Amino acid sequence: MTRVVHVHRIRGIGGSERHLLTLLPALAAVGIEPVFLGLDDPEGVLEPFYRELGVEAVRLPCPRDIDPGLLRRVRGEVARLRPDIVHTHLVHGDVYGTLGAGGVPIVSTKHNDDPFRRGPFRFAERLLTQRAARVIAITQALRRFCVDEVGLPAPKVEVVHYGLDELPQPWGESQSVELPDDARVLLCVARLTPQKGVDLVVQALARVREVEPRAVLVVLGEGPERPQLDGEGVFLPGRVGDVTPWYRRAELLVHPARWEGFGLALLEAMLAAKPVVATRVSSAPEIVAEGQTGLLVPPEDVGALADALLALLGDPVRAAAMGEAGLARARSEFSVTRMAERTGAVYSSVSAER
């Protein structure tokens, strides 16, 4: 049985963490022995992640970005755990996992196309990738970014899409939100950061409400932009412990990101049989079938975003058909089994080369 140690810094449950909560048990189900080595940010909300993990976990405190002592502890844990492969995730996982792996083969998953990866860090990323046996990009768009923008070697970079079979299980309590009885809910599930473009949909909502005053925007997430996102019809309940009732309540998901690694919310909306309105950036065109499971609009175009929202609000039959098509697409193209098997195939190829 292949033993794989996954290294990732944990602050809470975001997209990459939710991916690991799905991937690691699925790997165990296909005969791989996953172990999670968590680099814990003490200022984060950590316990919900570990409660849901379901596989062996080792936790190390990671209060600082640069910590030579942490590197020594990672080396010691990798030596003690004796994995066949070390699988790293995001910047901290890449740095500490790669430098702490000794002679163990490295697989590194790239989860986003954050613009900082085009900057000076790209030189460090190239050096770290020299040590990696394989790089997994979670979409074709991200693979192109890794090769063309960051300069990673194309032969090493393979694509394994995220997989999801069901909406997330509750992990805690949710704040109650008083909405008008006749509210038509536009749902956005995102951190309140510039990347996610929530400011754009707040502006678009004002135009939508001129035509459909019952429309409201509910944004599930926290972040530094919260004070700037006030508006009539905007509800910001923050991070909620159970998102599924919101997907059921909503008429559609709006995802106005400026860039995106994958966008798990897109896949969750599809599993809830809801249509999607998203910006045509990064991975969105791989996940949302334009005109079939949702509508794609240019980034930064508030007018186009408002028009797309109104188009679906004004045609419930079309919206429902898109939702059903999205559910079928999610089940056929983005299953957990498919993700686990393709990840296992990457491990097998690394082990065979070794």
What are the boundaries of each domain within the chain?
3-163+335-353, 184-333
Residue 65 CB contacts under 8 Å (≥ 6 apart), including other chains: 92
Confidence at residue 10, expressed as pLDDT on a 0 to 100 scale: 96
Confidence at residue 261, expressed as pLDDT on a 0 to 100 scale: 82
Q: Tell me: the pLDDT tens digits for 281-339?
A: 988 999 999 999 999 999 999 999 999 999 999 999 999 999 999 999 999 999 999 99
Helix, strand, coil fractions of the chain, as percent rounded to 5: 45, 20, 35
Q: Tell me: the pLDDT tens digits for 27-37?
A: 999 999 999 99
Asked if domains 3-163+335-353 and 184-333 share a fold, the reply is yes
Q: How confident is the model at residue 176 (pLDDT cuts 50, 70, 90)?
A: confident
φ, ψ (nearest 5 deg) of residue 133: -80, -35
CATH class of 3-163+335-353: alpha beta
184-333: CATH superfamily? Glycogen Phosphorylase B; (3.40.50.2000)
Q: Is there a contact between 90 and 111 (Cβ–Cβ < 8 Å)?
A: yes
Mean pLDDT across the chain, nearest whole number?
Answer: 94
Element (H, E) at 267: helix 264-271
Is the pLDDT score of 89 beyond 80? Answer: yes
- Among 80-94, 159-173, 208-222, which stretch is predicted with the lowest mean pLDDT? 159-173
Strand partners, 158: 136
In the sheet where 85-89 sits, what is the strand order? 56-61, 33-40, 3-10, 85-89, 106-110, 132-137, 157-159
CA distance 28 to 108: 19
Is the pLDDT score of 172 beyond 80? Answer: no
Q: What is the largest CA-CA distance in the chain?
A: 63
